Amino acid sequence: MSQKGTLFVRSTSGLARSVTTFDAFTFGFFMMGVGPIGAIVYGMGASIFPSGNIGLAVLISTIGAMFTTSVYAMLTAAMPRSGGDYTYVSRILHPSIGFAGNFNWALLNIFWVASDALLLVYFVGIACYGLAVVTGNTALMAAGTALSLDLNTIAAATVVTIIAAGLVAAAGIKWCTRIQVVGFAVSVLGLIVAIGFFGSTSNPDFIVKYDAVMGQNAYMNVIDAARNAGFVPGGGGNWLIPTLGIAAMACMATLYGMFSTFIGGEVKNAGSVRTQMKAMIGSTVFSGLSIAIVGFLVVYSVGQDYLGAVNYILYSDPASYPFLTAPYYNLLGAIASNNAWIALIFGISFLPIGVVWCIGCTLVATRCMFAWSFDRVVPSQIAYVDPRTRSPVVATLVVIVVATILGAVLVYNQALYYMLFGSIAGTLFSMVAVMIAGIIFPYRRKDIYDKSPSAQKVGGIPLVSILSLIALAFLGLFLYFYLGYPEIGFWAPLSVGLFVGVWVVGFAIYAVSYLVRRSQGIDLGMLFREIPPG
Amino acid sequence: MRLFFCSDIHGSQVCFQKFLNAAKFYKVQVLILGGDITGKAIVPIVRDGNSYSADMLGLPQTAKGQEGLSALERRIADVGYYYYVADSRETEKLAADPPRLDRLFTELMIQRLQSWLDLASERLAGTGARCYIMPGNDDREEAIKLLDTSTYVINPDKRVVEVDSHHEMISLGYANITPWKCPRDVPEDTLMTMIDDMASKVKDVKNCIFNMHVPAFDSGIDVTTALDSDLKPIMSSSGPQQVSAGSTSVRSAIEKYQPLLALHGHIHESRGVAKIGRTMCLNPGSEYSEGILRGALVQLAETKVKSYLLVSG
């Protein structure tokens, strides 16, 4: 018998000390992929929107993400044991929307298993290549070249990574705790080195150092080549719209501070809005600021014209492209540092996040499939657990097979960036459903809302509705750029097919399941229908 | 025959009311509550004249007047806690007197359970629905004694009951030893003896329902957060590390007897369905603190499980 605050508790099961807010914060930080995703956003942003302000764009994106994340935090606090958006969208809107949204989310995660495996291969290639340039080591150069240019090698390495992630996820991930701790330290070290190096290297210094390694006028040659290929350094015209465009692209990182919604119920004081806000907003702000600061400093040191130009000629004029691997800031920093240790830290700082992503996304996707199976929306065989290994072999196999197919599409169609940004648009659609659920939550599920800690009002209007409405405006703004700027890649046929078509498929699966189960005497509509307490 | 099974409502007033109403709502003939029916905590409501304040789930709550107090009491009861109205001095005294606090727990527990049993008689009498309520490993002896006095509700614990003309049910609310050393945690060999004893009295064990509070070890519906020695969850890259916490005896018994259906609770977060041989094992999970009643609707034919659905009502 003990007193806990002003609550008297007795010895019963379940009163464990829970996951700390810091644990949940770290989880969100990892899923936001500060270093690698920042690198992609800086490069692609500068290439597509050369006159945009990268650092400011990340800050705007972070502000928008704070609203979406706040809504996730409030819904999680209201239904902390519900396991994320599937249940609360189903409860508030309709089970078919909850399923279709979650189907989309599961497929996104399977896609990310493929894209993250490929990115991990590229990251290893960049680490080898960067070190090779600095040290002159031919073996590292050969490895970096193979992992960056040889499509068959890249495909094989990607498939091996996907299968390894699947096997680890299926077998259990106890050792991943260590990877997370070490990975967090390495990632933060990478950020510190990036801030230190780019912050202390002015643009003229960077050009001198870069040219010293890459050859006389190498820096300007890149900008000239890009200009000849159609790139307009500085962009011309206004800076606001391009900045908002980059802000939309930065959603690739900033929106995922909400990831701890999937472990929301395990967080200490899970039913407290403040606790959920600390974890989710904490991740969003910390990661968003980190990406913005590194972005400011990379632009300050490397120069936005060069950053845009080198990314531009990566696809438009490969013959003039100076590297064998992607031009992420960790490669640029490694080369300009001309120091093996700094190159090593830059190189390895992206790797742990790639490993954690592959395994984490596999687990999220298999958990989604389990939930559908338990709800009888898909055949129960999907949730089959092998009696010998106790692993979810069917669900894991589905992830491995689909991810391998998607991985092959990415490698052989060179479609990584298009699809990656397309997947973010897919996320935005899922989030729109959550925000709509947030707006009507106090009115449609008054029973749950009134009893929840999220029942806070401002001027008589439910706070969660206000935040959802603002978040929806941000999501609308971001979606405008994905839909309005083909350069970002959403309208690439593969993106549209995968990330829009999946919604149609999701609704179709639910409709077919509904009819099939009804013929078996099961009404899927009963899944989340509340029993009147009377 | 259609049955509704739920478990682990831990004192939640609204969940119990929903449980009773599930008979009509889901059109079932049998209601089964699989254990852990009593609450875990008392929320002191501090009285200051006509004003009242309480700290519920980390959120300060205030109320004015009798109407406000009733609403506050209702909110506390719905999440499964007991309330106790006292001034601040009395609350402090209570905190400093564990034996008195323990007596108060029992008193409030009995009070709510008695009101539930009365409500069950009132709402279910004449409907034809049978209502089985089993104590779990968290429930105290006093609560079990009270259950046994009910004229309408049947406590099936450690007994063989006939659910319908085709199906018998054996029930066990005890659990293997948990980190919290609950009132009815027992060693695995004791659990095995209890199950064997009941199974030996069943006429057709292959057509039997095993209503066992704790799920089978390593069944996939016994997965919970791994705790360190300080009862703190161990984190991994995808969230808290997961372990199996079910009973090896329950697993052995299901493997040995291969009943038609096994109904479980205990691990709130491990909602799901598992097959052990021919036996379908269900754990609907629990979300009582949100006032949501998780349950399993099961349609039984003479010798098979015709269909099932895990619901959140």
Give the ipTM of the model, two decimals please: 0.85
Residue of higher predicted confidence among A257 and B76 = B76
Rounded-to-10 torsion of CA A86, A92, A93, A94: 60
Measure in Å the smallest separation between the Cα of A175 and chain B Cα atoms: 8
Q: Per-residue pLDDT for A2 more than 60?
A: no
Q: Is residue B169 within a helix (H) or strand (E), and if so which, with residue range? A: strand B168-172
Amino acid A378: pLDDT = 86
CB-based contacts of A100, cutoff 8 Å, min separation 6: A503, A506, A507, A510
Tell me what pLDDT residue A478 has: 92
How far is residue A386's CA from residue A392's CA, in Å, rounded to a whole number?
6
The residues of chain B scoring below 70 in pLDDT are 57-58, 235-240
**pLDDT of A529:** 77
pLDDT value of position A405: 93
Contacts of A373 in chain B (CB under 8 A): 273
A10 contacts in chain B (CB < 8 Å): 40-41, 102, 105
Q: How far is CA A469 from CA A118, A459, B144, in A?
A: 36, 15, 50
Shortest CB distance from B239 goes to which of A82, A262, A271? A262
pLDDT in tens, A444-492: 988 778 877 788 899 999 999 999 999 999 999 999 998 888 877 677 7
Query: What is the C-alpha to C-alpha distance for residues B134 and B144, in angstroms, rounded to an integer?
Result: 8
Q: How much is the pTM?
A: 0.76
Position A24 confidence tier, pLDDT thresholds 50, 70, 90? low
**Alpha carbon distance A37, A249 (integer Å):** 10
* B194: CB partners within 8 A, 6+ apart: B158, B172, B174
Residue A141 has pLDDT above 60, yes or no: yes
Query: Does A451 sit within 8 Å of B79, measured CB to CB?
Result: yes
Confidence (pLDDT) at A238: 84
- Tokens at residue B308, please? 């099932």
Q: Provide mean pLDDT across the span A174-187.
A: 67
| Closest CA of chain A from B15, distance in Å | 7
Residues in B touching A262 (Cβ below 8 Å): 239
A17 pLDDT band, cuts 50/70/90, is: very low
Cα–Cα distance for residue pair B55/A158, rounded to 1 Å: 53
Residue A193 has pLDDT above 90, yes or no: yes
- Interface with B, mutate which of A8, A92, A267, A527 (most B CBs under 10 A): A8
Give mean pLDDT, residues A86-93.
Answer: 84
Name chain B contacts of A452, Cβ cutoff 8 Å: 290
Tell me the pLDDT tens digit for each residue of A483-498: 888 877 677 777 777 7
SS (H, E, C) B284-312: CCCEHHHCECEEEEEEECCCCEEEEEEEE
Whether A83 shows a pLDDT value over 70: the answer reads: no
Hey, are the CB atoms on B238 and A375 less than 8 Å from each other? no
Binning pLDDT at 50, 70 and 90, where does residue A178 land?
Answer: low
- Is B138–A13 a contact, with Cβ atoms under 8 angstroms apart? yes
Contacts of B220 in chain A (CB under 8 A): 383, 385, 390
Does the structure show a pLDDT above 70 at A241?
yes
Is the pLDDT score of A133 beyond 60? yes
pLDDT of residue A258: 83
pLDDT at A370: 79
Q: Per-residue pLDDT for A202 more than 90? A: yes
Residue A263: the pLDDT is: 59
Q: What is the mean pLDDT of residues A105-133?
A: 92
Q: Which pLDDT score is estimated for A138?
A: 94
Buried b (16+ CB within 10 A) or exposed e, A24-35: bbbbbbbbbbbb
**Span A322-339, pLDDT tens digits:** 999 889 999 999 999 999
Q: Which residue has the higher pLDDT, A394 or B257?
A: B257
**Predicted confidence (pLDDT) at residue A218 exceeds the cutoff of 60:** yes
**pLDDT digit string (tens) for A29-46?**
777 777 788 888 999 899
Q: Is the pLDDT of residue A174 over 70?
A: no
Nearest-CB residue to B237 (from A5, A12, A173):
A173
pLDDT at B198: 96
Q: Give the pLDDT of residue A102.
A: 85
Cβ contact (<8 Å) for B231 and A16? yes
Tell me how close the Cα of B157 comes to any Cα of chain A, in angstroms: 19
Selection from B172, B281, B170, B268 nearest residue B217 by Cα = B281
- Partners of A184 on chain B (C-beta within 8 Å) are none
What's the rounded mean pLDDT across residues A194-205? 96
Candidate ranges A172-181, A232-241, A283-292; pick with highest mean pLDDT = A283-292
Dihedral angle over CA of B183, B254, A375, A115, nearest 10? 100
Average pLDDT over residues A512-523: 83
> Would the CB atoms of B241 and A174 count as touching at under 8 Å?
yes
What is the structure's pLDDT at A5? 46
User: What is the nearest CA distance from A5 to chain B, expressed in angstroms?
Assistant: 8
What is the pLDDT, as a whole number, of residue A277?
81
The answer to whether the CB atoms of A81 and B309 lie below 8 A apart is: no
DSSP string, A91-143: HHT-HHHHHHHHHHHHHHHHHHHHHHHHHHHHHHHHHHHHHHHHH--HHHHHH
With CA atoms as reference, the chain B residue closest to A177 would be: B236
Q: Which residue of B has its CA nearest to A16?
A: B231
Question: What integer is the mean pLDDT of A37-64?
Answer: 92
pLDDT band of A15, cuts 50, 70, 90 = very low
Tokens representing residue A314 in the block: 């990566």
pLDDT, position B172: 97
Q: Are strands B41-48 and A461-462 parallel, antiparallel or unpaired?
A: unpaired
What pLDDT, on the 0 to 100 scale, is given for residue A16?
41
Comparison of pLDDT for A5 and B171, the residue scoring more: B171
Cross-chain residue pair B57–A521, CB shorter than 8 Å: no
**pLDDT confidence of residue A453:** 79
A521 vs B18, B182, B307: nearest CB: B307
pLDDT given at position B287: 85
pLDDT grade for A173, boundaries at 50, 70 and 90: very low
B140, two tokens: 């105290």
Task: Read off the amino acid at residue A130.
Answer: G
